[in-house]
Amino acid sequence: MTLLRGRGYASVNYPTGMNLGGDPSQALIHATTMGAFVISLSSVDLGQGLKTVVAQCAAETLGMPMANVIVDTADTDTGPHCMGTFASRGTHRVGNAVIMAAREARDVMLAVAADELEVDAGDLETDGTGFVRLKGSPETRIHIQDITLAAHFKQGKTISGRGIFLKERNYPVPETGEMDPDSCQAHACTVADVEVDDETGVVTVLGLHNTYEIGRALNPAMAAQQVEGGGWMGVSHAIFESTEPYYPASRDHGPVDFCEYLMPGPAEIPVQESVILERPASNGPFGAKGIGEMTANAPIPAIANAIFDACGVRLTTMPFTPESILRGLDALRA
Partner 1 sequence: MPRVNPIDGDYFRDERKDGDFKVIGKTVQRSDALGHVTGRTEFFEDRTFPDLAHIKIHRSAHHHARIDAVDTSEAERVPGVLRVITHRDVPSNWYVVLRLIGIEPNDEPVLAEDRVLYKGEPVVAVVADSEAAAIEGAARVRVSYTELPAVLDVEEALAEGAPIIKQAGTNYFVYEGHHARRLRFGDVEQGFAQADHIFDWRYSSAPIEHAPTETTGCIVVPQSSGRLLIHSNTQAAFFTLDNTALILDRPFSDLQVKGGTVGGGFGGKVDVMVEPLACIAAALTNRPVKFVYSRAEEMQVSSPRAAERIYIKDGVMNDGRIVARKVMLYVDAGAYSRHSPYGTTKACAHLPGPYTIPNVYADCHCVYTNRTPSSAMRGFGVTIADFALESQMDRIARALGLDPLQFRLRNAYRDGDLKAHRKVAEGTALIEVIQRAAALVGHDLPEEYRALSSTTPRGEAA
State the virtual CA torsion across 206, 276, 47, 73 in degrees, nearest 10: -170
In the complex with partner 1, the residue whose CB is nearer, 119 or 308, is: 308
Give dist(CA 193, CA 307) in Å, integer: 9
Which of 107, 120, 180, 330 is the binder for partner 1 (CB under 8 A)? 180
Q: Is 205 exposed, middle or buried, given 0-12, 13-18 or 19+ CB atoms closer than 10 A?
A: buried
Minimum CB separation of residue 53 from partner 1 in Å reads 8
Q: At what angle do helices 220-239 and 299-311 cross, to 10 degrees?
A: 50
Helix (H, G, I), strand (E, B) or coil at 183: coil
Minimum CB separation of residue 118 from partner 1 in Å reads 27
Minimum CB separation of residue 133 from partner 1 in Å reads 14
Q: How far from chain centre, in Å, is Cα 248?
A: 33
Beta bridge partner(s), residue 208: 192, 272
Which of 233, 235, 311, 313 is the binder for partner 1 (CB under 8 A)? 233
Part in contact with partner 1 (CB under 8 A); list of ranges 2-10, 117-125, 134-142, 324-332: 2-10
> Of 254-283, which residues contact partner 1 (CB under 8 A)?
254-258, 261, 263, 273-282
What would the x/- binding string for partner 1 be over residues 95 to 134, using CB under 8 A? Answer: ---------------------------------x------
| 134: Cβ contacts below 8 Å, ≥ 6 apart | 117, 119, 123, 124, 140, 141
In the complex with partner 1, the residue whose CB is nearer, 16 or 148, is: 16
Minimum CB separation of residue 266 from partner 1 in Å reads 16
Which of 190, 205, 310, 311 is the binder for partner 1 (CB under 8 A)? 190
What would the x/- binding string for partner 1 be over residues 10 to 49, using CB under 8 A? Answer: xxxxxx--x-xxx-------------------xxxxxx-x
What would the x/- binding string for partner 1 be over residues 52 to 91, using CB under 8 A? Answer: x--xxx-xx--x--x----x-xxxxx-x-xxxxxxx----
In the complex with partner 1, the residue whose CB is nearer, 68 or 151, is: 68
> Of 137-166, which residues contact partner 1 (CB under 8 A)?
none
Give dist(CA 89, CA 283) in Å, integer: 12
Residues near partner 1 (CB under 8 A), total:
126
Which of 142, 297, 311, 328 is the binder for partner 1 (CB under 8 A)? 297
Minimum CB separation of residue 66 from partner 1 in Å reads 6
Give dist(CA 301, CA 307) in Å, integer: 10
Give dist(CA 302, CA 210) in Å, integer: 11
Please answer whether residues 222 and 48 qualify as being in contact, where contact means their C-beta atoms are separated by less than 8 angstroms.
Answer: yes
Q: At what angle do helices 50-62 and 95-117 cross, to 10 degrees?
A: 30
Give dist(CA 205, CA 17) in Å, integer: 31
Residues in the chain: 334
224 binds partner 1 (CB under 8 A): yes
Which of 119, 219, 268, 269 is the binder for partner 1 (CB under 8 A)? 219
Please answer whether residues 322 and 308 qualify as being in contact, where contact means their C-beta atoms are separated by less than 8 angstroms.
Answer: no
Minimum CB separation of residue 272 from partner 1 in Å reads 9
